[in-house]
Amino acid sequence: MSHRPLVLVSGLTFGDYLLWHWSLNGNHDVIALVSGLTLPPLAVALVWLLAVSLGRVLMGRPRTPRSNAAPGPETRAPSAHAGVSAEDGRLPAAAERPSRRIAA
């Protein structure tokens, strides 16, 4: 996992906090209002990213993208029984079973 979003959001949060603090002390009301309104969402995003990063570190393994592609018919072995899958003996999913509807 890349730590770029965590670094970016923490930098934006810290910079926004400094701007908010400076504008409150310098009587810059509009800047204080804008930076004060953007500070809570940035803080929530920072806490969320910290929690996700900490959770991934505690899991002990990086997250790898999963392939959503199902094996095609040419990669499957023919089954011995038409209703049972050859790989593990389970019944095939509804998309793999032949249709038994009667035409009207």
Whole-number pLDDT of residue 64: 64
Rounded to two decimals, the pTM is 0.55
Q: Domain range for residue 18?
A: 4-58
Asked whether the beta carbons of 3 and 53 are under 8 A apart, the reply is: yes
Q: Do the domain assignments include residue 77?
A: no
34 falls within a domain:
yes
Q: Number of folded domains in the chain?
A: 1
Structure tokens that stand for 20 in this block = 């908010």
Residue at 88 is within a domain: no
Residue in the block written with tokens 């793999």: 96
Residue 104 lies in a domain: no
Any domain includes 81: no
Torsion angle in degrees (nearest 10) through CA of 54, 58, 62, 63: -70
> Which residue positions in the chain have pLDDT lower than 50?
none
Contact 56, 62 (CB under 8 A): yes
Helix axes 29-59, 4-25, angle to 10 degrees: 150
